[in-house]
Amino acid sequence: MMHEANRRIAPLILAAFGLAVVPFVTSDYVLHIAIQILLWGFVYTAWSLMGKFGLVSLGHGAFLGIGAYVSPLLWNYAGLTPWLGIPIGVLMAVLLALIIGYPCFRLRVIGHYFALVTLALSQVALLTIVAARDITGGSLGMTPRAVGHSWYALQFPEKPYFYAIALVVWVFGIGVWHFVDLGTGRAALDAIAEDEGAAAAIGINVMREKLRVTVASAALTAFGGALLSQYFMYVNPDTLSGIGVSLQIVFAAIAGGMYSAFGPTAGGLFTIALPEILRISMGTNFVGAANTIYGALLVIFIIFMPRGIIGLVERRLAAAPARI
């Protein structure tokens, strides 16, 4: 037994060590890419909390946008530290998730209706940010007031600091993923199968399970958005909210595989590294190339995974009794 555990833990320790030494051995450029992969991987992991329970949200751009905008706005206009601003943004995202999630689950708005309601949500967030251009800068975006290296303002021009933060946050995200996976397990899977009778029969409050993953997912997504804006020191409605981002999140989570803990991060690796590689190898003339490839790949993934998301859930359901 011990031996078995050691064998599983050893690679993890090695990987953690590897990730921890990255800043000491590489350039700022590699760190820059690594930070983005970790932060986006975190966001994709947050999305997959819902996605793997059959709740396909196209509204995560809204949560990401709230997280990304609230803290810089509070910092710029009220001088409030991100240490308070970020939790406020996360709370607002959670509130929004409840306002949308509760009636959706209560009234059983599911499948593509759920996707369309959340799509409307991401549009509302995008347009609200654009409409409030007097304070948000509209489509031009905004910059948090820069103060140089500061823990109080959570601003670090030196990349290794942010790398460390991104790494910790990412590990936290993976931890939450595992916690939700273990905590809800079979019960939630029954809920996804929309067999509320069966789920209720084994004492599951389907509503509460769905709300729980939704709140967790929205909170983490907003947190990820806040860190992205702190890192880039710039927010823009098109890159951090709206349908384009929502679709990108969905794509990465699905392409990477949302049923394993590291799947969404793999999606992140892919969506961040691919455009970089294309940019370096083909130059900026090919700005659309990466997204063209994502789009085509997303279609191909779905066609050649014929039973798709639901199918994988079913397979897990089918496998579950064997474990008991």
Partner 1 sequence: MDIFLLEAIINGILLGGVLALLALGLNLIFGVIDVVWICYAELVMCGMYMIFWLHGFFGWPILIASFAAILGVAGLGVLLHLLVISPILGSAPINQLLATGGMLFFLQSLATLLFGTDFRNIGLRLPIIEFGDIFISYSRLLAFGAALIGAVALYLFLSRTYLGIAMRAIAQDREVMGLMGVDQRRIYLITSAVGGALAGLAACLLVLQYDVHPFIGLSFGPITFMICVLGGLGNMIGGFVAAFVMSQIIAIGGYYFSIEISYVLAFVFFIVLMFIRPQGLLAR
Closer CB to partner 1, 54 or 72, in the complex? 54
Tell me the closest approach of the beta carbon of residue 51 to partner 1, in angstroms.
10
292 belongs to the binding site for partner 1 (CB under 8 A): yes
135 belongs to the binding site for partner 1 (CB under 8 A): no
Closer CB to partner 1, 76 or 291, in the complex? 291
Cα(56)–Cα(84) distance, rounded to whole angstroms?
30
33 belongs to the binding site for partner 1 (CB under 8 A): no
CA nearest neighbour of 41 among 202, 214, 272? 272
Tell me the closest approach of the beta carbon of residue 315 to partner 1, in angstroms.
13
DSSP string, 140-182: G-B-PPP-SSBTTTTB-SSHHHHHHHHHHHHHHHHHHHHHHHH
Q: Give me 132's structure tokens.
A: 């409030």
CB 152 within 8 A of CB 230: no
Tell me the closest approach of the beta carbon of residue 186 to partner 1, in angstroms.
21
Q: Within a 13 Å sphere around the CA of 4, how many CA atoms are in the beta-carbon half?
A: 1
x/- mask, partner 1, residues 60-99, rule CB under 8 A, reads ----------------------------------------
Residues 250-279 that bind partner 1 (CB under 8 A): 250-251, 254
244 belongs to the binding site for partner 1 (CB under 8 A): yes
Interface residue with partner 1, options 10, 150, 288, 315 (CB under 8 A): 288
Residue 218: which H helix or E strand, with range?
helix 206-232
Rounded to the nearest 10 degrees, the angle between the axes of helix 206-232 and helix 28-51 is 160
Q: Please, which residues have CB within 8 angstroms of residue 155's CB and are 6 or more apart in sequence?
A: 144, 146, 147, 148, 149, 230, 233
Q: What is the contact surface with partner 1 in residues (CB under 8 A)?
A: 54, 56, 58, 100, 103-104, 107-109, 111-113, 115-117, 119-121, 123-124, 127-128, 130-131, 242-244, 247-248, 250-251, 254, 286-292, 294-299, 301-303, 306-311
